[in-house]
Every structure is written in C-alpha cells, then in structure tokens.
Amino acid sequence: MLSKNFRLILLAACQSASMLLAQNLYGNLDGESLRFVTPRTPRAEDTIVFRYPAEEGTGAVALDISTDLPASSERIPMEISDGVWRATWTLRDTAARLLLFAFHVDDWMDDNDGMYYELPVYGDRGIPLRGAFEAAARSLSGLDDRRPEDLEAALERIEQEIRWHPVNYGARLFRITLLLKSDRLDAGTRFRIVEETEELKKSHGTDPDFLRYAIQAYRQIGEESRAGSYEEALIRVAPRDDQAVLIRMGRILETEDAAVRADRLATLLNENPGSRHAESILSQMATAYIALEDSGKMISVGDRLFETAETPQGASALAGLAGWMAEKRYDTRRAAAYAGRAVRLIDEMDDALRPPEIPAAEWERNKRAVRAGYLDIQGWSRILSGEAEQGVEILHRAAEHLFQPNVFYHLAEGYYRMGRLPDAMIQYARAAAFGGGIGKLAYETLSAIWKSSGREAEALKAFLAREERWVSENHRSRVIAGQMTRPAPDFELESIDGGYVRLSEQRGGVVLLCFWATWSRSSIRALGEIQSLADRYGTDILFLTVAMDPDAESVARFLDRTDMILPVLLNDGVEETFSLGGVPVILLIDPDGVIRFEHKGHRPDLAQSLAVQLDVLLNRP
C-alpha cells in the first residue's frame, strides 16, 4: 500500500536532447515512483499516455488533467495492466500551451493538495510553445488555486520562457510583477532589465509591441524619464496605436483652457474614429463643453454617447450633460433620455470591473449610490418636461439610496405640479432641513405656500422642526451605514510649500484626504466646504489635499487668487494607487490607517455628511 509520504517525481522531456525534471513536492523516495508520459514533447492533437506504478493495496487511481485554459479540468479513470495504471488523453485544444496533471489515489488522497505537475506543449519547431512556461509561472504565482504559491519556482519558469521566446513582452512584464511581489527588484535587477530592454531596442526599436512593453516596463521599475522617451517614440512610429492615442489624450487633458482642450480632443477623435478610446475622448469633450456652456456641441457629443457608450465613464458623461441641461431648463426631454441611458449603463456594468482591493459589498453600495444620482437627474428632467407623475416615481427610487436635499426638493416640485400640496410641503421641509442653497430655496417656497394657505407662522416652525428631526435621525444612520474597511495605500508627496508628507506617518489621528484639480468646478466647491470643516474641527482632524494638476505652476496660480489655506500636496502618480477615476475624491482615514468613508464628486449634503462621519471617527455623539 502506498504511504502518505510517498515521493513523486515526474520526468518529462522539454526538448529532444534535454530533460526537464518537473516540480516535485515530496522528493524521491526510492527511484521507483516515476510517472512516465508519452510522448514527452506533446503537440496539439497528440494522444498522451500517462502511467502510474501499482502496488499491493493501492486503491483506484484517476488522472486529474487540465490546461492553462479556463474551465478545462477533467478527471479520467485509469485502468490497471501489467502492474501499471494507465490513461490516455488527447490534446484537442490547439490553444493550450501547458498541461497540468495529478494522480488521485482513492484510498489516501482526498484531493490533490496542489500536487499538479506541468508538461509544456510543443510546436512544429520542436520547442515549447510561446507562453508555455509563462503559464507555468502564473500557475505558481498565487493566481491559480490549483497549485500553492512558489515565487522562486515561478521566477525560474518565467526565465525559461524568456530564454525560449525573448520577444514575449507579456512574460517580461510578468517577471517584473513577480520580482516586485517577491521583493527582489533591487538596483542590480533594475540595471539588468534596462540592459535587456535597450538591447532589444537595437532590433525591435520601431515595433509598437516593443515600444508599449518598454513604456510599461520602465514605469514598473521607476524609470519615468526612459518611459517618457519611449512614449514619444510610440507616438512618432504609430500615432494611431491605442496606447499612443491614450498618451496623446492624457497630454491634451493637461491643457487648462477648456476651448483649446475641446478642440484638440475633437481633432484626436477625428484622426482616430475607430479607437477603443473613442468613448473616453467623447466623455472628456463633454466635460469641456459643459465648462464652456456650449449647448450645441454638448448635444452633438451627447447624442453620439447615447448611441455608443458602453462604460461607466460614458454613463458619467451622459449624466453630467443631463444635469447641466436640467439645471438650465434646456431640452429637458433629451436630458431625461441621457440620464436614463446612464442608469441602464450602470445596470449593465460588469462586476469584473471591480478593483480587487474594493470589497464586493462596497462596490455594490457605490453602484447603487451612483445609479440613484442618475435617477435623480432623470426624474427631475421628466418633471421639467411636464411628466410630473413619472418623474416622482423615478425620484422615489432614487431616494431609496440617495438621502440628499436635491432629491427632496425635486420630489416637492413634482408633488406641487401634481397638485398634492401636503406631500409637497413635507418634501420642501425636508430639503430645507439641510440648509445651503437648495435648503434656502425650499424654505422660501414652503413659506410662501404656507402663507398663501392662511396658516399660522408658529405652526410652520413646528412643522419644520418635526421634519428636521426626521431628516437628522435618518441622515445620520444612512451616512454611517456607508462605512468601509479598506487599508489606505501609502504615499510620500511633496508639499506646494516645500518638504514631503508621508501618509503612513500620520497614523494615530483622523485624516481627511481630498484629491482635487484646479480645473474641476466640483473640486472647488468641495474645497470650500472642507475649509469650513477645517475651521470647525481645528487640530482634531488632519486635513490634507492632493492637487492632481500635472504641474505645480497651475496649482500655485490657483492658490494665489484664492484664500484657501488647506495643506496642498503635489500628485506623483497616486491616481492609480487609489483608483480615483476622477476628482474630487474625499477619503476619511481612521487612526489605524484604514479608509472608513469615501466620497466621489460633490453633492449638496457633502458638508453635513462629512461632519457626521468625522464625529463618528472622533467618537463624538
């Protein structure tokens, strides 16, 4: 009978003249436990014979086999003959590059415990297929639940891949990922990567695939200057390449003047109408035209997005256009259609877009909040278009996940137009409870209605107080319910006033961190409210802001013409680390360095929500 510490060795030929000893988790006990595979250099359509030695008392043996392709795993019963268990399997899938297999012995092995052995698939030239050893490396990197993580073995496999296929740029990039993950990317290793890349340049310097690799590789190892030079080369060699288009768009977005920015984006889109970044370019054009208040061009871009948008960015652009149109009472039927399309895009959003660092529950909560914001715009636009009943129904769906004064005010206006004054007055009172511009407008409207109906002023005070209590109780519970527990990534950024600030060194206190930009109107409104909170909380909270503008000069000019006194740090590529996706983004970080609350964009109840959340983090009632 086989013992549980039976040692396994797999011997498979990698090349006609050389043998590769497969990874052996248990070592070799007596030299008799070889699993022979025939042929040893399998190709597509080959029938492969697997053998397993039989011993007295051994239970039935099955072969577990899979390839590097998804959903390819299968279990095959083995048959015993002449003291050896055998199974045959034909490699049907011509896309497979690697076989992973294990032997399952019924009497002692409940599962394979990661004991998968690898066999590269070979091509017509008699060498392993491109990607075979890369697939083996990925299976050992912790990304594949079939095998235990072994970063040293993964690095060995990826080096083999690069030796066989030097221009497998994906493998080269994955090697850097493995080096980073195993904390082995030291100065010597960086120098080696630079040497290899510059050597490849001699024979592949005009190949867009190589240029894209060089840009990404140099970014990964911190060689920004070299990455920038290769960006220039890619734009020069292949200006319509997708990555070149993305680089060009990024540079255009650094333009402060909205009119110039819009014109350059339009030119870029006309030159690359079929680019996969077309929707992103259109979305940025919409933002520029909103800033310019150019309604004609907004409609032109909006109609194109309405027909072609497929991503959350397109949804955001459509909602932004619809919001401006509703605010200006301009073509509100079209605004309702834009907002409705934005809602559908959120409904259709693939959860595969969720960044791995964001928990699924938080992702769903954020989706519901964004969707509710778009419903608010859609419902209000329907009311302005004369469809009050339909608009109110949509707004009630928004109110399920959006507790903001604009929703209550829009509901009030809808009920008023429907002639349902008691319902309208309740919603006006609730909007008034938030204060601010919308709150003031709601209070004035309610007061006029109250006075025209001949009711007493004291009764209005009592009515407002009742609804304010209701808002306060419900608003606090909803705001607190949005808590999360996501570790804050660290950074060290330069201050506009000189010196550097490291986020991790601020632990022990509550931090409000705001990412903003001088060209973002929502950012400017948010900064004003954050400044008021800073005046209120003083040194109890550390307020930090990060300006996302590409150059310090534009930030300095902005600060010179404003009275903002909040600390300002300069961006150094943190947008990807924090998965920003836009500005403003406000994070509240607890004393342990954990992000507890997040706000994206500006909303009418921002100051109230931040105050409630800060009080929670300070353990105030």
Same domain? 423 vs 284: yes
pLDDT of residue 57: 61
Got the DSSP string for 460-484? HHHHHHHHHHHHHHHHHHHHHTT--
Q: What CATH code is carried by the domain that includes residue 42? A: 2.60.40.1930
Same domain? 492 vs 591: yes
Same domain? 449 vs 538: no
Residue 510 forms part of a structural domain: yes
Is 572's pLDDT higher than 90? no
Residue 409, Cβ density class (10 Å: 0-12 exposed, 13-18 middle, ≥19 buried)? buried
Distance CA 78, CA 51 (A): 9
Give the HSE-up count for residue 455: Cα atoms under 13 Å, Cβ half-sphere.
16
Which three-class secondary structure state does DSSP give residue 570? strand
The answer to whether 291 and 300 have CB atoms below 8 angstroms apart is no
The answer to whether 289 and 262 have CB atoms below 8 angstroms apart is yes
Is 58's pLDDT higher than 70? no
Question: How far is residue 244 CA from its own chain's centroid?
Answer: 21
Same domain? 550 vs 490: yes
Same domain? 532 vs 413: no
Residue 385 forms part of a structural domain: yes
Domain count, the chain: 3
Q: Which of 246, 253, 256, 257 is nearest to 279 (CA)?
A: 246
Q: Where are the beta strands (DSSP E) in 344-438?
A: none
Q: pLDDT tens digit string along 237-276? A: 999 999 999 999 988 988 889 999 999 999 999 999 989 9
Q: pLDDT tens digit string along 265-322? A: 999 999 999 899 999 999 999 999 999 999 999 999 999 999 999 999 999 999 999 9
Q: Following CA atoms 313, 316, 317, 318 in sequence, which dihedral angle do they give, to the nearest 10 degrees?
A: 120
Overall average pLDDT of the 550-554 stretch: 83
| Most trustworthy range by pLDDT among 29-43, 353-367, 543-557 | 543-557
Got the DSSP string for 187-253? HHHHHHHHHHHHHHHHHHTT-HHHHHHHHHHHHHTT-HHHHHHHHHHHHHH-TTSHHHHHHHHHHHT
What residues contact residue 497 under an 8 Å CB cut-off, 6+ apart? 567, 568
Same domain? 475 vs 493: no
The answer to whether 114 and 73 have CB atoms below 8 angstroms apart is no
Overall average pLDDT of the 514-536 stretch: 92
Got the DSSP string for 55-99? -TT---EEEEEEESSTT--EEEE-EEETTEEEEEEE---TT--EE
Structural domain harbouring 609: 486-617
User: Which residue bears the tokens 């960086």?
Assistant: 190
The answer to whether 61 and 106 have CB atoms below 8 angstroms apart is yes
Tokens of 316: 């955001």
- Residue 591: cis peptide before it, omega within 30 degrees of 0: no
Same domain? 409 vs 429: yes
Residue 83: CB atoms within 10 A of its CB come to 9
Give the HSE-up count for residue 585: Cα atoms under 13 Å, Cβ half-sphere.
17
Strand order through the sheet with 486-487:
486-487, 594-600, 585-589, 510-516, 541-547, 568-570
Which three-class secondary structure state does DSSP give residue 346? helix
Q: What CATH code is carried by the domain that includes residue 340? A: 1.25.40.10
Same domain? 468 vs 492: no
Q: For the packed helices 332-347 and 312-327, what is the interaxial angle rounded to 10 degrees?
A: 160
Residue 158 forms part of a structural domain: no
pLDDT tier for residue 68 given thresholds of 50, 70 and 90: confident
Distance CA 514, CA 541 (A): 13
Distance CA 282, CA 262 (A): 10
Is 12's pLDDT higher than 80? no
Residue 242 forms part of a structural domain: no
Is 607's pLDDT higher than 80? yes
Overall average pLDDT of the 504-515 stretch: 95
What average pLDDT does the chain have? Answer: 87
Which residue would you say has higher pLDDT here, 425 or 5?
A: 425
Same domain? 338 vs 287: yes
Q: Following CA atoms 560, 561, 565, 568 in sequence, which dihedral angle do they give, to the nearest 10 degrees?
A: -60
Using left for φ > 0, alpha for ψ between -120 and 50, and beta otherwise, residue 293 falls in left
User: Which residue bears the tokens 């052995």?
Assistant: 117
Q: pLDDT tens digit string along 106-149? A: 754 444 444 788 899 999 889 999 999 999 999 999 877 778 89
Q: Which of 108, 129, 150 is the last residue of a domain?
A: 129
Q: What CATH code is carried by the domain that includes residue 528? A: 3.40.30.10
The answer to whether 16 and 126 have CB atoms below 8 angstroms apart is yes
Residue 392 forms part of a structural domain: yes
Tokens of 2: 């086989």
pLDDT of residue 355: 76
Is 446's pLDDT higher than 60? yes
Q: What angle do CA 30, 31, 36 make, to 5 degrees?
A: 140
Same domain? 454 vs 505: no
pLDDT of residue 361: 81
Which three-class secondary structure state does DSSP give residue 100? strand
Residue 191 forms part of a structural domain: no
Residue 54 forms part of a structural domain: yes
Question: How far is residue 521 CA from its own chain's centroid?
Answer: 24
Is 340's pLDDT higher than 60? yes
Q: Which of 443, 461, 480 is the last residue of a domain?
A: 480
The answer to whether 528 and 557 have CB atoms below 8 angstroms apart is no
pLDDT of residue 216: 93
Strands 34-38 vs 117-120: parallel, antiparallel or unpaired: unpaired
Same domain? 415 vs 359: yes
Give the HSE-up count for residue 482: Cα atoms under 13 Å, Cβ half-sphere.
23
Residue 233 forms part of a structural domain: no
Q: Which of 480, 509, 531 is the last residue of a domain?
A: 480
Same domain? 467 vs 509: no
pLDDT of residue 493: 92
Distance CA 492, CA 503 (A): 7
